[in-house]
Amino acid sequence: MIRTSHALRPSLAIAAVCIAVLPLSGCFSGQQATTTMQAKMNSGNGVQAQQGPIRIENATVVKSADGAEATLLVRIFNDGIEPDALTYASINGTPAEIIGTEEVAVDLPPGSSTSFGWNSDLRIDLGALDAEVATYVPIELGFATAGLAPLSVLVVPQAGIYEDVTILP
């Protein structure tokens, strides 16, 4: 039998508790942890997507207060080394109008980010949206080089932080 001094017993108890905390804690449950899985799902406004070198962030559909029109708020990054262009957009299966440029497409230079709807004259608007607030609608963004990026985006009302968003008919 191993004899320990009375001074060592509290130290051993503390060490045992510290070692037991790691496997008993629920903070990390591996790759299937709820917090890990949530990062891969639509969790509300601000949907993200990647299409080749094009990164799409904070995609949110804002429906007008009268429910007649909608606009897509989004920031698009070209993380590639070649230029690209946004050439097509649809909201809930209906082609949307890309507004703010004389050209048919919006240029996306390499290493750039372009905002649509927030602090920008560029917009992606839809005359009429047949979808309820708090539902997800399919969005397609078409790029000249990167191809078609499908997303599922939340529809929010033109209220609260979205109250001042301009939505053109």
Decide if 17 is inside a domain.
Answer: no
Decide if 24 is inside a domain.
Answer: no
Decide if 97 is inside a domain.
Answer: yes
Mind listing the pLDDT tens digit for each residue in 87-119?
Answer: 999 999 999 999 987 777 999 999 999 999 988
Count up the domains in the chain and report the number.
Answer: 1
Decide if 104 is inside a domain.
Answer: yes
Decide if 96 is inside a domain.
Answer: yes
Decide if 29 is inside a domain.
Answer: no
In this prediction, residue 150 carries a pLDDT of 97
Decide if 6 is inside a domain.
Answer: no
DSSP per-residue codes, 44-95 = SSSEEEEETTEEEEEEEEEE-TTSS-EEEEEEEEE-SSS-EEEEEEEETTEE
Beta bridge partners of 113: 77
Q: Worst-scoring range by mean pLDDT, 11-15, 116-120, 126-130?
A: 11-15
Q: For the whole model, what pTM was predicted?
A: 0.74
Nearest by Cα to 158 from 50, 36, 53, 64 = 64
Domain carrying residue 53? 44-162
CATH at residue 97: 2.60.40.1890
